[in-house]
Structure 1
Amino acid sequence: MKAPLDLTALGSVGGFFALRAGAPPSGVQVASLARVYAGDDGPLAFRVDKVAARLGAPDTRVAVSVAQLGLAARLWSVTLGSAALHGEVPDLDPELLHWDADGTSPDDLWLRELTTRPADAASIRDVVQHGHLAPLADALRARYRISAALLWGNAGSALAGAARELDTWARRNGRTDVGERARALAAELFDHPDLRSTGTLRGTAFRRRSCCLYYRCPDGGVCGDCCFDRPPQRSVRGSSPPGASG
């Protein structure tokens, strides 16, 4: 049976699953993601610069990648979590979804009007992949030199991570039905050309075919789903090792 969409319960899974409804509080500087995708790249540039400073990123592409990966994880988590827990998905219309580029989860996303859509893979794909990730990739690539394969690899990694978090929560709370729905939806979402080629998904275990470049940061390393087993060494100055597309 479908349960009403409870944003408090959704946020209890973890910060990445939280969504604020209504107008952002006064004093919070937010922009609609539609405006960002349409060419107002001030918020994107601010976020990339902030991530670069926090990580000590030696290359702007590293900060672009990490910033995009974080936003992709938020969008997949909110929608996949809603579908698995409540049987419906919030319609994250980019015109109504506002983003605080200076904030972090759970206080970075505000949805001005909460309406819902069916909890199927087609709805989630339309809301997240087509509604946000594709135009976000276009906006980032228009401003920065970064490959589409890397950005879609991040999207795949973020989707698998959201499913894994939900499955872990479900096991811990005796809600195996939630984990089953999350795994099934993730598998269906991966069956698309933009995501199918990003890596191998088995259950909630994922091994990507690209690298998010985090290992290049001073304190960085490889992520659990990285195509590398250990941080690679560059054999030629300024060149990228295989798999680290960027």
Structure 2
Amino acid sequence: MDLDPRLTALRALGGFFVLRAGEDADRHLPTLDQAYGPRRPGVQHTPATDPLTVRVRRVAAALRIQEPRVAASVAHQGLAARLWSVALGCAALHGAVPDLAPSTLRWDPEGSAPDDLHLPEVRPLPGDAATLADVVLRGHLELLSAALRARHRIAPALLRGNAASALAAAAREITRHARPDAAARATRLAGDLLDHPLLTGAGTLTGSAFRRRSCCLYYRVPGGGVCGDCCFVRPPRSSPRAPTA
């Protein structure tokens, strides 16, 4: 159950699976628990220094999104995908998952994969579904969803769908790039995790194909459309919304 202190095997799965680990990690970046809150005593975040606000605004600017809730959804799915990819990739390849505790996992809200996540020390944990759920779902995505919902009007079902979609996508990429035994392990773990109470009902996994029961709102991005696993076949007709916080 040993893990390479730099997690180099993840590179074969693609850039989205990689994080800066061990000596490659930047120890000066904020930890993810600073992004999720609660705010630390004596630390007053402004919109310019709050990590989640910085990420949402960066996404909005990059994609020319006028609605903050849409940018928040896209930002949420992106971070969920990064966390699932690292954890599920390690579990599939090694049978172990690194401890990704928010208090130790560092995050650059202005970075993109693989430069956004930094883990100074790789400490292995069991690679079973229960541990993956504790590490990613309870350790991160519950806190991330709560923090985003405190800032934006986003439905819980949408965020649950984002988390499930990101998990299914990570498993699908592993089946494309990993050896057969690792691919089978990723598929099995993804199926077990989609039955977890925090994800159950978010969508249906058939083989490697996933269909979610909610929409991430990407169709509201300029030039965007429906995603491959969307509950909609085509973008729903809707009137323009005024930007909301």
Provide TM-score, normalisation by structure 1.
0.89
Q: Which of 59, 74, 83 is residue 82 of structure 2 equivalent to?
A: 74
RCO higher in 1 or 2 (8 Å CA, sep ≥ 6)?
Answer: 2
SS, match of residue 65 in structure 2 = coil
Matched, 1:64 2:68: no
Contact 1:166 1:179 (8 Å CA) reproduced: yes
Quote how far apart the aligned CAs of 1:65 are: 0.3
Matched, 1:197 2:205: no
Measure, in 1, the Cα distance between the counterparts of 2:99 and 2:232: 36
The answer for the alignment partner of 1:34 in structure 2 is 33
Matched pairs, number: 231
CA-to-aligned-CA distance 1:89-142 (integer Å, 9 cap, x gap): 000011100000010001110112210101100110000000000001111111
Percent of residue pairs bearing the same amino acid type: 57
Quote how far apart the aligned CAs of 1:3 are: 6.1
Measure, in 1, the Cα distance between the counterparts of 2:232 and 2:155: 18
Quote how far apart the aligned CAs of 1:193 are: 2.2
Measure, in 1, the Cα distance between the counterparts of 2:2 and 2:149: 39
Contact 2:26 2:118 (8 Å CA) reproduced: no
Contact 1:12 1:18 (8 Å CA) reproduced: no
Contact 1:209 1:226 (8 Å CA) reproduced: yes
Describe the shift of the 1:238–1:108 C-alpha distance in structure 2 as closer, same or farther (beyond 3 A): closer
Q: CA RMSD in A?
A: 1.8
Correspondences of 1:145-184 after superposition (within 5 Å): 145-170=153-178, 175-184=179-188
SS, match of residue 110 in structure 1 = strand
- Structure 1 stretches (4+) deviating beyond 4 angstroms? 236-239
Matched, 1:222 2:226: yes
Quote how far apart the aligned CAs of 1:167 are: 0.5
Contact 2:89 2:186 (8 Å CA) reproduced: yes
Q: Which of 208, 213, 224 is residue 209 of structure 1 equivalent to?
A: 213
2:211 corresponds to which letter in structure 1? Answer: R
Gaps of 5+ in 2: 40-44
Measure, in 2, the Cα distance between the counterparts of 1:48 and 1:39: 18
Gaps of 5+ in 1: 240-246
Quote how far apart the aligned CAs of 1:194 are: 1.9
SS, match of residue 13 in structure 2 = coil
Provide TM-score, normalisation by structure 2.
0.89
